[in-house]
């Protein structure tokens, strides 16, 4: 069996369980080597981008995935175009946030990458990573909230 090379395009979803599970499933099909490509807006501090890349690679490697990575600065499609080499990559995985949260889905990135490269593109939808540690108390609630307009109806609000 030959070793496949899979380009993984992810940024905010790079260390999510959904993406890593998809990579593990792909790894179980045949021998594979992954390269994580993380596009960032040009204004992103390099140290921040490198830190996110390191954290994602560590999470992937704990699942025994053969993976290296790189950061690209620019629009996601431009970064993929720069990294794309048909002699090097056999397939691509694009990981995005769900529908309305994803700027990459707004520009139809998975389909555009597939059209541009002509290879199989697997689209993984992942939930946004939680920034608070597991077990931490929820953030305090400030302000009236989304139901404030209903307060005039007297439900559970201030009683006089």
- Cβ–Cβ < 8 Å for 65, 27: yes
Closest CA to 85 of 38, 117, 111: 117
* 3-state percent breakdown (helix, strand, coil) of the chain, nearest 5: 35, 20, 40
Q: Which domains does the chain have, with CATH numbers?
A: 4-131 (3.40.50.620)
- CA 90, 94, 97 angle in degrees (round to 5)? 170
User: Measured between alpha carbons, how far is 153 from 150 in angstroms, rounded to an integer?
Assistant: 6
Rounded to 5 degrees, what are φ and ψ at 92? Answer: -135, 145
Mean pLDDT of 111-134: 86
pLDDT tens per residue across span 48-58? 999 999 999 99
User: Measured between alpha carbons, how far is 120 from 81 in angstroms, rounded to an integer?
Assistant: 15
pTM: 0.80
User: Measured between alpha carbons, how far is 86 from 21 in angstroms, rounded to an integer?
Assistant: 25
Please give the residue that has the higher pLDDT: either 60 or 139: 60
pLDDT tens per residue across span 126-139? 998 766 555 555 55
Helix axes 109-117, 76-83, angle to 10 degrees: 20
> Mean pLDDT score of the chain, rounded to an integer?
86
What beta strand segments (E) does the chain contain? 4-9, 32-40, 67-73, 91-96, 120-125
Pairing of strands 91-96, 67-73: unpaired
Tokens 């992942």 belong to residue: 126
């Amino acid at each position: 069996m030959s070793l496949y090379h899979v380009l993984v395009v992810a940024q905010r979803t790079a260390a999510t369980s959904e993406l890593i599970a998809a990579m593990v499933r792909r790894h179980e099909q045949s021998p594979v080597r992954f390269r994580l490509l993380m596009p960032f807006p040009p204004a992103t501090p390099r140290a921040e981008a490198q830190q996110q890349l390191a954290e994602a690679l560590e999470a992937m490697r704990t699942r025994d995935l053969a993976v290296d990575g790189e950061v690209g600065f620019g629009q996601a499609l431009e970064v993929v175009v720069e990294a794309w080499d048909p002699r090097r990559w056999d397939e691509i995985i694009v990981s995005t946030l769900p529908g309305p949260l994803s700027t990459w889905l707004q520009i139809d990135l998975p389909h555009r990458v597939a059209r541009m490269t002509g290879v199989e593109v697997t689209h993984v939808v992942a939930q946004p990573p939680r920034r608070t540690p597991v077990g931490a108390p929820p953030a305090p609630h400030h302000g009236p909230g989304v139901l404030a307009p209903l307060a005039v109806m007297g439900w559970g609000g201030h009683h006089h």
